[in-house]
Amino acid sequence: MGNKTCAIKKFRTHFSSFGEIWLFTRIFLLINVLPFLFRFLSLPRVMKMLAPRNFRVCRNKDLENMKDKIVKFTDYILRHNLWTDKNICLRRSLVLYHFLRKLGINVFVCFGVRYNGRFSDGEAKKKLEGHAWLLYHGDIFLERNAEVTKTYTMTYCFPDKI
């Protein structure tokens, strides 16, 4: 029983309010629902569903804090979730897009491709790879390695870039 109590206390130290627990829960649910949505709906349809209809107005300090919490919770869940072994960049980008747009941060989800040379049996083979990321004011946003992201050729951005 002591280990469970310790685990609960440790879990609670990451949240300063019920609102943060609720945010964590919503992010967790969205991350785990996305694969089922992709199974039955096209990507453009899922993206339109994730486009928020209303924005929340936050003070600059609150906005930065909420943005940091959204990124922290999303990355934590993706790192520790057994069901998210594929398409992590897609899920991460879509979840961040949804919650950041709700805060009023005008981000875009971008998709790109690149050829990656793979060598097997002494022969070079080109393999097409895809990646998803966010743009904010025309710059790559919240990527761990923006230089790697720059090696992809952007093929689509949602909503359409202005």
Q: Is residue 117 in a domain?
A: yes
Starting from the edge strand earliest in sequence, which strands make up the sheet with 123-136, in order? 139-141, 123-136, 107-120, 153-158
Reported as a pLDDT band with limits 50, 70 and 90, residue 17 is confident
Number of Cα atoms under 13 Å in the Cβ half of residue 58? 17
Q: Is residue 1 in a domain?
A: no
Model pLDDT for residues 129-146, shown as the tens digit of each residue: 899 999 999 999 999 889
Reported as a pLDDT band with limits 50, 70 and 90, residue 62 is confident
pLDDT of the residue at 118: 59
pLDDT of the residue at 57: 62
> What's the total number of domains in the chain?
1
* Per-residue CA distances from 99 to 59, 70, 81 (Å): 16, 7, 19
Q: Is residue 132 in a domain?
A: yes
Q: Is residue 10 in a domain?
A: no
Domain interval for residue 53:
18-158
Q: Is residue 4 in a domain?
A: no
